[in-house]
Amino acid sequence: MWLDLALILIVCLGVVILGSSRLGTMIQLFAAQSLVLSATPLLVHPGKHAVVMTMGTLILKVFLMPNLLSWAIRHVSIRREVQPLVGYGKTLMLGGFLMGVAFWISFRLELPVRETSNLLVPCAFSVVMVGFLLLVSRFKAITQVIGYLVMENGIFLFALLLLEKTPLLVEMGILLDIFVGVLIMGIVVNHINQEFGSASTVNLTNLRD
């Protein structure tokens, strides 16, 4: 029951992120989604392994990454995504459609492992779809980073199916790679803004050797 509620809340927070334009709000929502996500290992398979995953998620995704992204938007003086590639209303409609597709695909998969909850795989695919849509439908580099992180939250959920068999070192390595990726993106956003006066990735097409 608690796992199902956590999964539904994670998906709902993803949808709210998809419909938000203010970057500060999006970062806070991502932190809230990651906070709920950090509890899922304990709900799926309580144990030392799950505790370490929970602590790693809390440190990286709830504290370090949001603070790094908040520093980035303060440094480049950007507060919102003004002109997305796809309007917010259409994005939400497309997101709802993709979530429906995710549930349809999930219920037809034959998994080799037993699911703790019937909602685990559909919600994981839905979060991946929401993150991917956010990644491809926005111009601001910081917004795209948030989309990437949301998509990774969905991958994290799906990986919980193999919680008992996946080596802890691999999982911690993935989290570290994500943190390094966000750190590098923060540096890239800073340089884009210094060069062009804007953090839009459209400006990358103007770069020359």
**What residue ranges do the domains of the chain occupy?**
2-206
**Per-position b or e across 41-67, b if 16+ CB within 10 A of its CB:** bbbbeeeebbeebbebbbebbbeebbe
Q: How confident is the model at residue 151 (pLDDT cuts 50, 70, 90)?
A: confident
Does the pLDDT at position 201 exceed 60?
A: no
pTM: 0.80
**Per-position b or e across 167-186, b if 16+ CB within 10 A of its CB:** eeeebeebbeebbeebeebb
| Cα–Cα separations (whole angstroms), residue 101 to 13, 81, 94 | 19, 27, 11
- How much of the chain exceeds pLDDT 70, in percent? 71
Tell me how far apart the alpha carbons of residues 17 and 11 are, in angstroms, rounded to a whole number: 10
Higher pLDDT, residue 52 or 99: 99
| Cα–Cα separations (whole angstroms), residue 56 to 26, 37, 78 | 21, 11, 29
Name residues whose C-beta falls within 8 Å of residue 147's C-beta, 6 or more positions apart in sequence: 131, 132, 133, 134, 135, 136, 138
Mean pLDDT of 27-35: 93
> Average per-residue pLDDT in the chain?
78
Three-state SS for 59-90 is: HHHHHHHHHHHHHHHHHHCCCECCCCCCCHHH
Does the pLDDT at position 170 exceed 90?
A: no
Q: How confident is the model at residue 173 (pLDDT cuts 50, 70, 90)?
A: low
Please give the pLDDT value at position 56.
Answer: 81
Tens digits of residue pLDDT in 115-130: 677 888 899 999 999 9
Does the pLDDT at position 84 exceed 90?
A: no
**Top mean-pLDDT range of 47-56, 61-70, 74-83, 113-122:** 61-70
